[in-house]
Structure 1
Amino acid sequence: MASVSVSHLIIFIAALTVSVGVATTLTVNVQSMTASMDERGESVANDIETDVTIISDPGSPASIYDGAGNVTLLVKNTGDRPIDIENDPPDVLIDGRYQPSPTVTIIGDSSTAWGEDDVIRVVVDESLEPGGHRATVRTGSAEATMRFRVN
């Protein structure tokens, strides 16, 4: 009879040990998932708050393309948060081709943050043939596209 109690005690201790291990693993996984969901939620919130609009006048092609290989775009931050353009400059595509190293300056401000309702000037070196063209500016998940003609 004592041997039955001892075997039950050993099985009980083993069951407790396994359940503690499972509980510890689940707790760590739940904490990891919670942290991941918090980060993802913050990222989605930033994406929702970020928006840009190209405000260059496509009806005035000389203000966009100077004929000497420079495309100049005026882009307004129409979102609800400032954008750090020093550490994360906007991506620029001209006719679907990525333009490395655009020159980006904030108009009327010398800070590195592109504030709400502020306008930046983006200049890229790209020779364009006469005809229709498309310029796209991306920052984060925000994207603005403008079509214009070169004479």
Structure 2
Amino acid sequence: MASVSISHMVIFIASLVIAAGVVGTMVTGVDRVNTALEDNSLDASEQLRTDITVISDSGSEVYDPNDETLTLLVKNTGTQPLPSDGTNLDVLVNGQYVLPDDLETEVVNGPNDAWSRSEVLRLDIQTGLEEGDHRVHLTINGEKETFQFRHVE
């Protein structure tokens, strides 16, 4: 009789250890999912509050072939301030990534420490362009803007 009680006790303790391991694993998994959801919601919130618009006229000459500079005026139409130095701004010209060293930025109608709502950023891009149609693709915080223009020499 005592051997049956000891066997049941061993099985009961083993069951508790296994259950505790399963619960610990599930708590860790739920915590990881919760952290991922929080991170995604912060990213989504930042993306929703970010909006930019290229206000340069595509019919005007935005490219200067003498110093190989493409100048765009970009307005912050979102609700959050953005870095005025071009960090977090990815620029593609005709599908080619422009290195940050080839970008110069200046806030036109405000202090140059931040690019606030309704302020315009002058973006000078050092790039060589042939005559013809061109496309500039800007991305910041997941917000994308495309500007198309024609360069005629």
After TM superposition, the score normalised by the length of structure 1 is 0.89
Q: Which of structure 1's runs of 4+ aligned residues deviate more than 6 A?
A: none
Unaligned 5+ residue runs, structure 1?
none
Would you say how many aligned residue pairs link Structure 1 and Structure 2? Answer: 149
Change (3 A) 1:26 1:85: farther
Please say if residues 54 and 147 of structure 2, whose CA atoms lie closer than 8 Å, have aligned partners that are also in contact.
yes
Moved more, 127-136 or 13-22: 127-136
> Counterparts of 1:21 and 1:129 in 2: how far apart (Å)?
66
Letter of the structure 2 residue corresponding to residue 67 of structure 1:
P
Unaligned 5+ residue runs, structure 2?
none
Q: Once superposed, what is the RMSD of the aligned Cα atoms?
A: 1.6
Please say if residues 106 and 119 of structure 1, whose CA atoms lie closer than 8 Å, have aligned partners that are also in contact.
yes
SS at match of 2:64: coil
Identity of aligned residues (%): 35
Deviations 1:26-79 (A, max 9, x none): 112211210111111111121122111110011211xx1122111000011112
Please say if residues 73 and 122 of structure 2, whose CA atoms lie closer than 8 Å, have aligned partners that are also in contact.
yes
**Shift of residue 131 of structure 1?**
1.9
**Shift of residue 100 of structure 1?**
1.2
Please say if residues 84 and 112 of structure 2, whose CA atoms lie closer than 8 Å, have aligned partners that are also in contact.
no
Please say if residues 65 and 71 of structure 1, whose CA atoms lie closer than 8 Å, have aligned partners that are also in contact.
yes
After TM superposition, the score normalised by the length of structure 2 is 0.88
